[in-house]
Structure 1
Amino acid sequence: MTATRTHLRGLLGLLAVVAACWGTLLIAVPASTGDPVLVAVSPADGEIVESPDEVRLTFDRPVSAGLATVRMTVPAGQQVVEGRPYPVSDDPNTFAVRMPRTRYAGTYSVAWSVPSSTLEPITGTSAFQVYAPTEAAAVPQIPADRDPAVVAIHDAFRAAATAAFARGTGVAFVLGAVWPAGVVHPPARRPITYAWWALVVATFGSIVSFGGYTARLPLAEAYDPVVVSAAFGSDVGAVLLARLLVLVPITVALVQLLTGTPARSAVQRWLRSGVVVGAAAALAATWGLARPAGPDGPSALVVTADIALLLAVAVCTGGPVLLWVLVRTAGDSVLRVALPRLARVMPVGGVSLLAVALLTTAGWRLVALLVLAVLAVATGFAGGWWARRRRGTRGRDVSGRARLRRLAAVGAVGVAVALLAAAVPATAPTQLAQPGGLQQGGVVER
């Protein structure tokens, strides 16, 4: 009876971990705010004014001033930038930009841009006259392309976060499934710990670099504190912060897993591996939820597909990494236990990744994922080959172990290359953000 109660308490504890991860995700992820629509400009388009201190733009919903871009031309045709836009304290739907300190009579043209839910710019123009109307000498230009350096930095953080998730989750799952006693083996624990830190750092880096990326700012302006602060307050920033919050219950569970008593039965092994999958699925959902997907946000089908793909990639990554660790640091007695199980797990992971990848990806990313699936299956075959070679024999098999070590090294390197290739974000075709005329009624070009 005592053993039954202990088993039941353990099961409830594992289920509580999964529930805590999903509960944190559902609470922390905000609803999509949709795309803003301009409703007013002050001074208004075509208005004749004396000498305003600022130009205000008002939208139908809150807009982050830190992610907006405003450019202005003076009557002589010169383009001026008087600092970053700033929020108006008494109206969250309005931001403003200062007028030049020296003002001349004539027409001032203003072009503005704010990011949409797909991260493409929503743009518009307006013109007003100071003291007397004149012909507009020039139309302000909004940057249409992202700074390559800003893109490279942001994409590097995103790729690092994806790779860290796959490595940490994969090793934790495979370790629990094939060799539970490995939780007390430091070389087997190290990839999980390193992946955890890498995921935290890369996620913070993704948020910090998101502002300049989505606002299409040059590198010199991309990390302005106002821009970085706005990135944390954006929809994407909120989802990435939710990822860090989901890591809190996952971290507690990992500490218990790595410091507790190893699983002693097949049921316990698979229960703990199942908890790894369930908790990691909540973490993986943040990738789909952070995807630019229009005013209504990503659909449940898209998020589910992202979860399935990331989990399959994780399993296929964890197997080769763990095999490489074991052949370098564990004895034959460990390999006799772990490799037959690895031989059963990895082909299933490879086939699963193959199926999901064919349904959800295309192009060079599909090629990278197919390579990863093949390497996962090959890892299982290598483990099975060594287990059959050693069945019924005693003593050391120096040549067989050396061959297995070479195969494991090739697999680990191949997995690293394929994973990084698959993790690099796809670059969407650039859509020019040249400002168009502001129509009456607040309709703007998108």
Structure 2
Amino acid sequence: MLLLLASAWGLLLGGAGTASAHAKVSSTAPAEGAIVKTAPKTVAITFSETMSLPDQPLRVFAPDGKRVRTGPAGWAPDDHATIRAALPDGLAKGTYTVSWRAVSADSHPISGAFAFSIGKASPHRAVVPTDSPAGEVTGALYGVARGTTYAGYALMVGVAAFAVLCLPRGMNLRPLRRLMGTGWGLLLASTVTQLLLRAPYESGSGPGGALDVSALRNTLISDTGQFLTARVALLLGTWLLWNFLGQRLSGDLAGGPRKAVLAVGAVIAA
């Protein structure tokens, strides 16, 4: 039973991303605060680990605050730790601000900005737009869903462990079954919520982005999306197994503890 609980913990919560620290920026090109004589062809950011990219990971702002139209941002060849984007020709002199956003290996989005100057520094830098209030709402909702995941898991597995280890006949008691069902429901609902909110959470947009079908499609093919989808499948399989187990126990408990133990063993082996 302890082995099963440990395996379930790894499968259900192993991708929650609490083990590793957030990635950091190793270098930028041009360097932070650099004054270059001629306009660079590209801007680039190198991180301390491999990253994944949300929509619009790089944005460049001119000295007057207007956004510069860059080429599509993407990875450098054979390097998924460096994001770069091409700059247009004919950039005027002054200080340019590069705003960036990426998702670290622990599944958390991180963001920041750096500035460089062409020819000479401007008296004032462009004010980089921060996450909108709607994006902050999305982050808060995603955090609540993540916390609910732990609460649901603790309730579901905790009640099951208590029933099996401390109260063998408790597996068939309605109050305990209801508590387990509540934990299961919380875990399933929070997982589906994370799956829907993942795209707007990464991009810093509002909760309405959860209804974007194309964004959801991109989430489903990402590593985090595949993990959350696998968790949903595992929970549905757990529900089917639990119902089958309940039917077996309801008949076998009448035949004595030995038959009940054999029934549980047969289900676990299957």
Please state which band the TM-score falls in when normalised by the shorter chain: 0.5 to 0.7
Compared with structure 1, are the counterparts of its residues 15 and 80 closer, same or farther at alpha carbon in structure 2 (3 Å cutoff)?
same
Q: Quick check: which one's strand share is greater?
A: 2
Corresponding residue for 2:137?
149
Corresponding residue for 1:225?
215
Matched, 1:138 2:128: no
1:92 Cα deviation from its structure 2 partner: 0.7
Corresponding residue for 1:378?
none
Corresponding residue for 2:114?
125
For residue 225 of structure 1, what is the amino acid of its counterpart?
A
Q: Quick check: which one's helix share is greater?
A: 1
Matched, 1:109 2:103: no
From 35, 39, 56, the counterpart of 1:46 = 35
Paired residue secondary structure (1:77): coil
CA deviations over 1:208-231 (Å, ceiling 9, x no partner) = 424544664444667672996399
Cα distance in 2 for residues equivalent to 1:159 and 1:32: 16
Cα distance in 2 for residues equivalent to 1:59 and 1:202: 31
Paired residue secondary structure (2:142): helix
CA deviations over 1:19-74 (Å, ceiling 9, x no partner) = 6536757987889554434333334532333563x422122321222288544221
CA deviations over 1:77-96 (Å, ceiling 9, x no partner) = 32457698433453211113
Give the alignment's Cα RMSD to 1 decimal: 5.1
Residues 23-62 of structure 1: matches in 2 within 5 Å? 24=11, 32=19, 34-44=21-31, 45-50=34-39, 52=41, 54-62=42-50
Paired residue secondary structure (2:193): helix
Corresponding residue for 1:206?
194
Percent identity, aligned pairs only, is: 19
Compared with structure 1, are the counterparts of its residues 123 and 190 closer, same or farther at alpha carbon in structure 2 (3 Å cutoff)?
same
Cα distance in 1 for residues equivalent to 2:139 and 2:6: 36
For residue 47 of structure 2, what is the amino acid of its counterpart?
F
Corresponding residue for 2:267?
none
CA deviations over 1:327-362 (Å, ceiling 9, x no partner) = xxxxxxxxxxxxxxxxxxxxxxxxxxxxxxxxxxxx
Residues 391-410 of structure 1: matches in 2 within 5 Å? none
1:143 Cα deviation from its structure 2 partner: 1.4
For residue 37 of structure 2, what is the amino acid of its counterpart?
I
1:203 Cα deviation from its structure 2 partner: 0.9
CA deviations over 1:354-377 (Å, ceiling 9, x no partner) = xxxxxxxxxxxxxxxxxxxxxxxx
For residue 135 of structure 1, what is the amino acid of its counterpart?
S
Cα distance in 1 for residues equivalent to 2:131 and 2:10: 40
**Is this contact kept in 1: 2:63–2:126, CA < 8 A?**
no
Compared with structure 1, are the counterparts of its residues 127 and 231 closer, same or farther at alpha carbon in structure 2 (3 Å cutoff)?
farther
Corresponding residue for 2:62?
74
For residue 46 of structure 1, what is the amino acid of its counterpart?
I
1:127 Cα deviation from its structure 2 partner: 1.0
Corresponding residue for 1:260?
248
Compared with structure 1, are the counterparts of its residues 173 and 268 closer, same or farther at alpha carbon in structure 2 (3 Å cutoff)?
farther
Paired residue secondary structure (1:259): helix
Matched, 1:92 2:77: no
Compared with structure 1, are the counterparts of its residues 28 and 157 closer, same or farther at alpha carbon in structure 2 (3 Å cutoff)?
closer
Cα distance in 1 for residues equivalent to 2:147 and 2:14: 26
Cα distance in 1 for residues equivalent to 2:207 and 2:67: 20
The answer to which of 26-35 and 40-49 deviates more is 26-35
**Is this contact kept in 1: 2:57–2:73, CA < 8 A?**
yes
Compare CA radii of gyration and give the structure with the larger one. Answer: 1
Compared with structure 1, are the counterparts of its residues 260 and 197 closer, same or farther at alpha carbon in structure 2 (3 Å cutoff)?
same
For residue 38 of structure 2, what is the amino acid of its counterpart?
V
Relative contact order, CA 8 A, sep 6+: which one is greater? 1
Which structure 1 residue ranges, 5 or more long, are not aligned?
A: 1-13, 274-446
For residue 215 of structure 2, what is the amino acid of its counterpart?
P
Which structure 2 residue ranges, 5 or more long, are not aligned?
A: 265-270
CA deviations over 1:120-143 (Å, ceiling 9, x no partner) = 8563413142xx445264234251
Corresponding residue for 1:385?
none
Paired residue secondary structure (1:65): coil
**Is this contact kept in 1: 2:156–2:183, CA < 8 A?**
yes
